[in-house]
Amino acid sequence: MAIHPILKMGDARLLRTAQPVAAFDTDALHQLVQDLLDTMRAAQGAGLAAPQIGVDQQVVFFGSSERNPRYPDRPLVPPTVLINPVITPLSDEEASDWEGCLSVPGMRGLVPRWQKIRYTGFDQYGDSIDRVAEGFHARVVQHECDHLWGKLYPMRMRDFTQFGFTEVLFPDISAAEDD
């Protein structure tokens, strides 16, 4: 078990395209997945990508079987390890919603995302994953996979008047819900 520091916006490593994973079911990959899970839980994140802890690999962990204190009113997203993902929008329909990020602490922004997607990839054992997701689940997948392609959510925003510090935008938010 290792809890890693999370890289913050401004660190050039967050802007790189991560490398695909070539070998599955290895001790190193299992350790990376456990480190992502431990670090995400410690930070109360909805997901975490390997580049956020300085690892240049296409690996994300997202979801939980318990409510997230940062997103208490959101539906549960199944806990998932997703490696070498491919995201395909299933329509042109987008939805905008507020997002935060462990790499952009204390801030939130209104981000457009595809409403319904198909995502494919592999788990840490090399088994195929092929799912359709919509709403919050689709948003979380897109947000985490963006980290693998060197994108942070502010880069997806279209209106910077809808970007700011969480404590200013949402003064009644609890400390547990802040990033």
Catalytic residues: 144
Report the distance separating Cα 1 and Cα 172, nearest Å. Answer: 35
Closest C-alpha to 30, from 120, 144, 125: 125
The residue type of 35 is: D
Kindly give, in sequence order, each residue whose CB lies less than 8 Å from that of residue 26, ignoring residues fewer than 6 positions away.
none
In sign, the C-alpha dihedral spanning 39, 65, 120, 109 is negative
Report the distance separating Cα 73 and Cα 95, nearest Å. Answer: 17
Query: 34 is written with which tokens?
Result: 């456990």
Query: 30 is written with which tokens?
Result: 């299992």
Report the distance separating Cα 37 and Cα 64, nearest Å. Answer: 10
Query: 160 is written with which tokens?
Result: 């910077």
Contact (Cβ atoms closer than 8 angstroms) between residue 170 and residue 108: yes
